[in-house]
Amino acid sequence: MKCVRCKKQAEVELKSHNAAFCRDCFLYFFENQVLKAIKSFRMFTKKDKILVAVSGGKDSLTLWNVLLDLGYNADGLFVHLGIEGFSDIAKGKVERFAKERNAKLIVVNLKDEGIPIPEVKKKTRRVVCSLCGQIKRYYFNMVGLKEGYDVLATGHNLDDEVSRLFSNVLHWKMEYLVDQSPVLPSEEGLLKKVKPLCRVTEYETSVYAFFKGLDFVDIECPYSKGATFTMYKKHLNQIEFSSPGTKIDFYQGFLKNLKPILEKREEKIKNRCKICGYPTFSDVCSVCRLKGYT
């Protein structure tokens, strides 16, 4: 099999693109897909100060690496979840990456904030993955605003976005469908959020990380077992195998056809948490409630 770009021996086949690439051409293709997402959705420019949410996994470290290679002004933010046997390993991976790339890294420790995830799990009956995501989004936003960043970038890839879209459509969660987009514009109390990897799959991200020799966390969070999104990804991969290109068609079709309709009925958050000022539909945000302020 030959590389479609340079005709050398190919190492990667991408059926969804009806193409195969050698190592160098794949890396060019991958970076070009990220650039295409950044420019087509007007995510940010070289003048913007970008904060990358990093977990130590392949997706977030890939994103940070790509942005640095492309010359963007990108710093990292790591939220230490306080999960024994996992969080310290992840922190070590992120710190080593930042040191190797001479990049700035900000660390927030949830133990210092009084809400490490194991303790949060004991205090509530809610699904811990959902709460964890909510807490991380809170600190990504608050730290980004406090430190004067223009935009927050997360490592959500196409598989993540398609799985989330599938779940929200399956259960018709309209309030979540409204917010599903590669770009969430800034508004009062909320930092602009972007997903530059929205055009590349998890497989493509894994290949990039391997070719670049990125040292990332390759163990699952102990609380993620049985997560619904993992099941959705498995079934969507089976569909993609039988019909290459389904994922990108599903996602882009939503953005083109349904997203504009949903935006017309979007309800803006008008309240601010009376404790911290974070946008919320109630008087006190969920993170402040977890901290025991109510």
Predicted TM-score of the model (pTM): 0.91
CB of 13 within 8 A of CB of 203?
no
Instruction: Say what the pLDDT of residue 130 is.
Output: 84
48: DSSP letter: S
Instruction: Say what the pLDDT of residue 226 is.
Output: 64
Measured at the CA of 44, the angle between CA 79 and CA 198, to 5 degrees, comes to: 70
Structural domain range at position 69: 34-263
4 within domain boundaries = no
51 within domain boundaries = yes
17 within domain boundaries = no
Tokens representing 196? 């530059």
Each residue of 240-284: pLDDT tens digit? 999 999 999 999 999 999 998 887 766 666 688 999 989 888 899
Each residue of 158-168: pLDDT tens digit? 999 999 999 99
pLDDT band at 142 (very low <50, low <70, confident <90, very high): very high
CB of 183 within 8 A of CB of 43?
yes
15 within domain boundaries = no
On the question of pLDDT at 127 being above 90, the answer is no
194 within domain boundaries = yes
- 119-133, 162-176, 256-270, range with the lowest pLDDT: 256-270
133 within domain boundaries = yes
On the question of pLDDT at 113 being above 80, the answer is yes
Q: What is the 3-state secondary structure (H, E, C) of 223-287?
A: CCCCCHHHHHHHHHHHHHHHCCCHHHHHHHHHHHHHHHHHHCCCCCCCCECCCCCCECCCCCCHH
Each residue of 201-249: pLDDT tens digit? 999 999 999 999 999 999 888 887 767 778 899 999 999 999 999 999 9
Residues 6+ apart with CB under 8 A from 162: 236, 247, 250, 251
143 within domain boundaries = yes
Instruction: Say what the pLDDT of residue 97 is.
Output: 98
Instruction: Say what the pLDDT of residue 268 is.
Output: 62
Each residue of 12-61: pLDDT tens digit? 999 999 999 999 999 999 999 999 999 999 999 999 999 999 999 999 99
Instruction: Say what the pLDDT of residue 266 is.
Output: 61
Domain count, the chain: 1
58 within domain boundaries = yes
For position 127, which CATH number holds? Answer: 3.40.50.620
Q: How far apart are CA 37 and CA 155, in angstroms?
A: 13
Q: How far apart are CA 118 and CA 81, in angstroms?
A: 8
